[in-house]
Amino acid sequence: MTATDRDLIPVVDYARASVDKAKDEHTVEDQQAANEKTAGRLGCRIVARFADNDKSAAKADVYRDDFEEMLKVLRKGKLSDGTPVMGCIVTADDRLVRRAGDYERFVDAITHEEGRVYADKRGFKDLYSEDVESMGLMGAVISRMEVKRTRRRVRNWHRARAERGLPPKAHRAFGWMADGTTIDQGEAALIRKAIDELISGRSQASIVREWQAKGVKTPRGYDWTTGTLRKMLLNPRLCGWRMIQGEIVEVDGKPVTGQWEPIISPERWQAVRAFYDARRGKIITRDGAVRPMAPDHREHSYLLTGVLRCGRILPDGSMCGKKLRVVNDRKTGVFRYYCQDKTQGGCGGLSRRGDKLEEFISEAVLAKLEERAKSARRDIGPWPRERELIELQEQLAELRAQWGKRKVSNALFFAEVERLEPEIAKLRAERERYELASQQSETDISDIRRRWYSETDDDRLDLGQKRAYVRGCFLAIIVHPAGKGNGSRTTFNPDLLELIWRED
């Protein structure tokens, strides 16, 4: 270090960019270059740099790593290697803080010792002066207010666009061209096929694997996952409806129709949403409690793992309830479902021949599907409560109009809204389930039976699709013990199975 360098004030600098869409840190680099010029002009030298890229300073839930580390350095007055630090340089206050609390913490850290300096591109600021500190706090408050106003203007702008049915200003949506309104026929065909197969029982994972094998990418060039597929299929944009912040935009109780070509009908999309809602099923736990069923993400090798439960009664009178696992018998070549031993949380006292179990349950599932299809074909028709839903929506729209004209009191308005909105939501959910049942009834069950047992057809059901049907039919299947000497490992008695069906 030269004598001249020793005469310069050792400082750190801080730079921040709220948004960096390009992910190239160009804004931070520009600020650092400006800080370098400021340091040279004011007789300082930068001994360490701190920067938070693509991070907001206005949001309470955003943790700025470098900002927090810089506060520690400023309070200590030195870097970890012992290099002295006598101040901080930024391009502007709003790059440093947007919240009054952060400003106070910064001032406390930098003024922990006397003689520290703080500067922006306009020059030094005396943070030891009470007046300047008050002005800084006021600036942070004003900055915070401006952030809120900006956010409110942006929200209102997006809301106004949504209510006019304009497409979102974002990256290209899968299924449409870059203009956001014209259908991409190739991608639209993939979407329609995926919906058909989901409703007829194919798993998301199977569809995603097929898309990945074909090289189908998201609009941003990434591989599809079950999460991105689900998010795309649950977006009402597919049927021409506008959504903002996860909610369908409505005017007078009716969904806003977007200014783009829809890929599927509203009825079809409602069936998709009902399909996903129905998958939020329940399972019976070991102690008999009912809890939400976890998504079936894993690759399975057997049809009934995760569904079969041990029904053996333990010495304390409770049922074991452990999920059955699979073991292959090398001597016979037959696989068995069994309860793990006590060291693994089971009882170790039950096993059952797997091929017979799967054959019986497959027929039970197909019989249930045939029963549902016959019932649906017999009862299908327009949803019988459509008029009731329309009347409630009209009541709510009229109520809002009267309230807007000050003809209805706040107390009456909110009391009626609290009554009407749950009823409307309940009827809409019922209509979606009805649409799903209607469209599932159009599936040829005899075709599913062929696809279920086929080993060679291109459209045969894979294991994931079969498991989807099984999980859709059963909450659980309890396997009761056959007793010693009754050939539990070789013979099969279906009366020892307790089928816990889902309610239709």
pLDDT at 436: 72
B/e letters for 261-277, b = 16+ CB within 10 Å, e = fewer, are ebbbebbbbbbbbbbee
Q: Are residues 432 and 454 in the same domain?
A: no
Q: Are residues 356 and 489 in the same domain?
A: yes
**First-to-final CA distance of the chain:** 80
* 11 within domain boundaries: yes
Q: Are residues 312 and 453 in the same domain?
A: yes
Token readout for 353 is 């021949």
Question: How far are the Cα atoms of 185, 268, 302, 344 from residue 299, in angstroms, in the given order?
Answer: 32, 29, 9, 22
pLDDT at 284: 42
Final residue in a domain of this structure, among 218, 252, 278: 278
* 169 within domain boundaries: no
Q: Are residues 431 and 456 in the same domain?
A: no
d(CA 133, CA 111): 11
Q: Are residues 348 and 392 in the same domain?
A: no
Domains held by the chain: number = 4
Q: Are residues 311 and 452 in the same domain?
A: yes
Q: Are residues 347 and 395 in the same domain?
A: no
Q: Which domain holds residue 119?
A: 3-149
Q: Are residues 103 and 71 in the same domain?
A: yes
Q: Which of 423, 430, 475, 23 is nearest to 293 (CA)?
A: 475
Token pair 């049922």: residue? 319
Q: Are residues 143 and 258 in the same domain?
A: no
pLDDT at 442: 59
Q: What is the CATH number of the domain that holds 103?
A: 3.40.50.1390
d(CA 188, CA 260): 13
pLDDT tens, per residue, the chain with 504 residues: 554 667 799 999 999 998 888 788 888 999 999 999 999 999 999 999 999 999 988 888 899 999 999 999 999 999 999 999 999 999 988 888 888 788 888 988 998 888 899 999 888 888 877 555 554 444 554 555 565 556 666 666 667 777 777 777 778 899 999 888 899 999 999 999 999 888 776 778 888 989 999 999 999 999 999 889 999 999 999 998 888 777 787 777 778 888 889 999 988 888 888 878 766 544 444 444 445 545 444 557 899 998 999 999 999 999 999 999 999 887 778 899 999 988 888 999 898 999 999 999 999 999 888 777 666 555 567 788 888 888 888 888 888 888 888 888 888 888 888 888 888 888 888 887 777 767 666 555 667 788 888 887 766 777 877 887 888 789 899 999 987 655 445 567 899 999 999 876
d(CA 220, CA 205): 20
* 433 within domain boundaries: yes
* 382 within domain boundaries: yes
Q: Are residues 102 and 39 in the same domain?
A: yes
Q: Are residues 260 and 292 in the same domain?
A: no
* 176 within domain boundaries: no
Q: Which residues contact 296 (CB under 8 A, 6 or more apart)?
A: 203, 205, 306, 464, 467, 468, 471
Phi first, then psi: give them for residue 45, nearest 5 degrees. -130, 135
* 179 within domain boundaries: no
* 163 within domain boundaries: no
- Residue 461 C-alpha from the chain's centroid: 28
Q: Are residues 302 and 261 in the same domain?
A: no
CB 226 within 8 A of CB 211: no
Final residue in a domain of this structure, among 395, 422, 441: 441
* 165 within domain boundaries: no
131: exposed, middle or buried (C-beta count within 10 Å: 0-12, 13-18, 19+)? exposed
d(CA 100, CA 171): 35
Report yes or no on whether pTM surpasses 0.85. no
Final residue in a domain of this structure, among 127, 149, 171: 149
